[in-house]
Structure 1
């Protein structure tokens, strides 16, 4: 691979050659990563993924990651969202708490209590509340189902995953809590939105600048959990 320069000395995009063991799709993905300013920024600032800037932008506006808050991060690996959450709720200082779970292992993150755990496990809500020392103020989910390449199928899979995460959130959130989850653009999330509008005071879609513009990725942010009135 190499980075070329224009006639004025300006750095141009890094180009990746397609080798014997590298498919075109792999080449394009790697090229995109190497030229992504958020990937470079994450490396420079010590974050584990570019996704941290999506959460940062959403929280800068909604301000749900408050000092002292208790946070659950679902599907946390590689840990970028957990890193930012721990900083903003001041878990490193012992003020807030961040409990992160994933079915995959993850390297330790300062201020984060990590467990290898499937949030679909019936025991998961009680386990997490015990680790948090009570109910959660925020439930985060940047999870995505394994892609099939078929857009409608992938959309249905991720909506089902987010619906399960929303049900989980209703079991662990305290009244007034917030739920943020990744979804995909599509026309079949009506049931999900109806569920969230029943359980939360405010529900809206957001697309942060760090989310690639050519991606169908969106985030749904639900705030003001109704607690005992929720299903």
Structure 2
């Protein structure tokens, strides 16, 4: 188990990514082909920046990634990235100003997780709340036909959450990356082909 963790940890260091989570996004992209040249992407809960860096590489010079997190990061980003330390759920002038040139986004990705307590049901409930808030941003932020990726902790509420996305996306898939730790309860819900409307 430790060896398994070390493999992704070491690989991330070697490839200059701040965290092993980058490989989850790589797997998601390989499976669903969500990252394209020239896209505008909003990355929720972006710190320390691995997803933002990988997405920036994929969208290229003509694309742009806006990474937002309540935490700061030491990561250095390329020119096609804006990193903002802010609460993505609060429409501050700074956040709205950073979003304005890129709206609506082609893709919104979220690797957000709550501060865990170790109490399974509490953690699941907090994870669900973050996912619901991310979903509620979509009508104002995601373009028609756009895609959405969100991390959620497995639990009884996942089914209902997925159903809420079924009403606003052409397809909704559940995916567990191989690079997630085996003991981890995280899975990813992928909404493809945004049709607009409320969740």
User: Would you call these one fold, judging by a TM-score over 0.5?
Assistant: yes
* Structure having greater relative contact order (Cα 8 Å, sep ≥ 6): 2
CA distance in 1, matches of 2:181, 2:53: 21
Q: Runs of at least 4 residues of structure 1 off by over 3 A? A: 32-35, 122-129
CA shift in 2, pair 1:34/1:217, >3 Å: closer
Instruction: Give the number of equivalent residue pairs.
Output: 196
Which consecutive unaligned segments of at least 5 residues does structure 2 have? none
2:111 paired residue number = 142
1:97 paired residue number = 64
CA distance in 2, matches of 1:46, 1:129: 27
CA distance in 1, matches of 2:194, 2:73: 29
Tell me the secondary structure at the aligned position of residue 167 of structure 2.
Answer: helix
CA distance in 1, matches of 2:88, 2:97: 10
Task: Give the structure with higher Rg (CA).
Answer: 1
1:184 paired residue number = 153
1:119 paired residue number = 88
Which consecutive unaligned segments of at least 5 residues does structure 1 have? 1-12, 14-31
Conserved? CA contact 1:102–1:117, under 8 Å: yes
Conserved? CA contact 1:180–1:220, under 8 Å: yes
RMSD: 1.9
Query: Among 41, 46, 49, which residue is 1:76 paired with?
Result: 46
Q: How does 1:141-160 map to 2 (within 5 A)?
A: 141-160=110-129
What TM-score results when the alignment is normalised by the length of structure 2? 0.91
